[in-house]
Structure 1
Amino acid sequence: MDRIERMISSYLDHLAVERGLSANTVAGYRRDLRRYAEYLGDEGIDEPAMITPAVITGFAASLAEGVPEPDHDRNAGDQKPAQEQKTTQDQKPTQDQKPMWRHPPLVQSSSARALAAVRGVHKFAAEEAITADNPAARITPPKPPRRLPKALPLDAVQALLAAPGTETPAALRDTALLELLYGTGGRISEIVGLDVDELSGLLTDPDEVGGLRVIGKGNKERFVPLGRYAKKAVADYLVRGRPELARRGRGAPALLLNARGGRLSRQGAWLILQQTAERAKINSDISPHTLRHSFATHLLDGGADVRVVQELLGHASVTTTQIYTLVTVDHLREVYLTSHPRAR
């Protein structure tokens, strides 16, 4: 392992152990830094001391431009005539037809994330005296455009929550999953990570709003509500759905189980949401985070304080939560313009 790889490996260990970032977050940093290491290798750089601000700027440019496969850099004289390269629509690609990109161009937000990983590893290396200085100190990542979170209208949420039904163990599980996502505003990883023991004592009185503690980003624990609808959906699933699913597995402690009796994965939950949205005739793009956005937006529409919503979502800074206030201001403006007799 060369010094650049050791520097990156030490940084990833720091993120996982000392900063307590989730495995998914660390995996994202690892992918971005692997691409950075490949770029440095292509440039003939094998020592951290050889990295300059210009090198990092060049890497940033490669993120936006992409890295083509070496075969696509061949001279035109080495290529076959155009007539020989053409294939009919029914022909399968041959082994010689390789993908165009080794690394495709990234959108601005992904480029900014990758560059943030590079800035982080160099700052860490300088602070730990792995390198003498920080060549990324003055590199500024591109500022991604501000995108308003997408929230579903309340009637669409209600149609979505009613779509799974309660006829089968899987339907009961799907209803519990969706009620938990919308009823708590939890991240998908937090919801599928719940164990049965974490809900003990919360389901005895279905009419009383209980509380649930979840572990969020950075291993931070927070309290989230568990309202009447979510409690009923979970209680029904535990009585009539989970036992049947659990019989197919090996005694997983997970609350939400897949068809084989193991813990439901994030990908499995995403697929359930997509299929349920189709049944509910929701045509807009939807993901588990859509329900989290809807949770926050509907709370603010109902008059909740932004700092309360911040705590419920587990945001480290209220600035992150304030983006939802832009959505509700637009909603208020629309209501005013359509409802007030002298608005126009």
Structure 2
Amino acid sequence: MSAENLADEQVIDDWLTYMEASRGRAVRTIETYRAALMRLKEFMAGKPLVDADAVELETFCGLWLHKQGVIAYSRKPYISAVKGFYAWLKSHGHVRGNAAKELLHPITGRPLPRTITLANAEKLMWAPDMGTFCGIRDAAILSLLIGCGLRVSGLTALNESDLQTIELECVTRLTIRVTEKGNRERRMPVPREAEALLRVYLGHEDLADVDRSFKGKGGRTDKVLFVSVRSTRLAAHEHVGEKRRLTRKAVHDIVQRHGKRIGIPIQELHPHAMRHLFGTELLEEDTSMLSIQELMGHADPKSTSIYTQLAMRKKMATMDRAAPLSKMKTPVSELLKRLPR
């Protein structure tokens, strides 16, 4: 069967499989490409994607997306997906010419990141109902977004094995192993406020009733860290293990639900706005650029194993002094004051 007779979905699936398996693209990138091509399919209104011409692709990537409210900077992933897809169709002999060959990325400046204010971040920390399991879970999630500057992908990927305690100057502290962009791993200290909320969450009786175990790396049993409490698609006996993992959309919904209820501006109600707050607060406390890069995962730390303990002690001091949670009153602040340091 020729590509001309294949369903659009099959051609898209074949290309995405190639991009993931052969080109090593991350799952999130694959999802972005799929969404872009499904928008192109919508634009083509029944005409097969393999029959698109250069004018149609230029209209889709320009005027049509603009009318849909997609700003110039945000059109770049769409253009990358379209160019990659049609280059693959040609290289595999599915089409005679590459209709996307002349597509150009819009020339734009990088937009300034939107950040949540420190005052609004403090209000958000108090928004969840600490008398409920979901409220405690949400507070723990917010504490990691604000206090560690995690990307949503890194937060939702956390498992219980990613939590590790270490001894620093006779004090036990918590660290987390974070896997984010490009599957890069880093270990970073957890602020004491976030650690306290995590321990309350992990010790909650409702969590003990949740089957969140799954086979992790090397066949070892692990547990999903942040769980969903219900599913509209799965029966109760199926809603276990990996299927209990909280999705990125669910985290976005948690942030927006609590934030809207207490009147925080919508433009600040995005998990990445908390990541930008984290970076901004570190910078304003004269934290070195190298430390910021390491804490935010912009580059892999180069320290060898002999320096790991020293590096972690420096990072821990930076977190205790400069991270957002150390500057605000949280539901566990008074408790922490009474605990030995």
**TM-score normalised by L of structure 2:** 0.66
Which amino acid in 1 is paired with 2:253? L
Matched, 1:182 2:146: yes
Aligned match of 1:3? 3
In 1, Cα distance between equivalents of 2:69 and 2:259? 31
Aligned match of 2:184? 220
Deviations 1:30-73 (A, max 9, x none): 122234356568667746xxx6644532433453466xxxxxxx
Matched, 1:250 2:211: yes
Which one of 34, 40, 43 corresponds to residue 36 of structure 1? 40
In 1, Cα distance between equivalents of 2:227 and 2:180? 20
| Superposition CA RMSD, Å | 3.6
Matched, 1:288 2:271: yes
- Contiguous gaps of at least 5 residues in structure 2: 214-222, 231-239, 301-341
Which one of 299, 308, 315 corresponds to residue 282 of structure 2? 299
In 2, Cα distance between equivalents of 1:316 and 1:162? 33
The 1:280–1:205 alpha-carbon spacing in structure 2 relative to 1, beyond 3 Å, is: farther
Aligned match of 1:329? none
Native 8 Å contact 1:183 1:230 kept in 2: yes
Of the structure 1 ranges 160-169 and 38-47, higher mean CA displacement relative to structure 2 is found in 38-47
Which one of 245, 248, 252 corresponds to residue 263 of structure 1? 245
Deviations 1:196-225 (A, max 9, x none): 222143699996554322221232222333
Aligned match of 2:64? 63
Q: CA deviation at 1:281?
A: 4.4
In 1, Cα distance between equivalents of 2:185 and 2:22? 17
In 2, Cα distance between equivalents of 1:298 and 1:174? 22
Instruction: With a CA cutoff of 8 Å and minimum separation of 6, indicate the structure with the bigger relative contact order.
Output: 2
State the SS of the aligned residue for 1:201.
strand
Deviations 1:10-33 (A, max 9, x none): 331132223443434312211222
Identity of aligned residues (%): 28
Aligned match of 2:25? 21
Which amino acid in 2 is paired with 1:288? P
Q: CA deviation at 1:178?
A: 0.8
Once the two structures are superposed, the pairs formed by residues 203-218 of structure 1 within 5 Å of their partners are: 209-218=173-182
- Contiguous gaps of at least 5 residues in structure 1: 67-103, 318-344
The 1:118–1:164 alpha-carbon spacing in structure 2 relative to 1, beyond 3 Å, is: same
Q: CA deviation at 1:191?
A: 1.0
Q: CA deviation at 1:189?
A: 2.5
In 2, Cα distance between equivalents of 1:216 and 1:144? 26
Which amino acid in 1 is paired with 2:294? E
Which amino acid in 2 is paired with 1:27? E
Which amino acid in 2 is paired with 1:263? R
Native 8 Å contact 1:152 1:290 kept in 2: yes
The 1:136–1:199 alpha-carbon spacing in structure 2 relative to 1, beyond 3 Å, is: same
Native 8 Å contact 2:256 2:266 kept in 1: no
Of the structure 1 ranges 120-129 and 24-33, higher mean CA displacement relative to structure 2 is found in 120-129
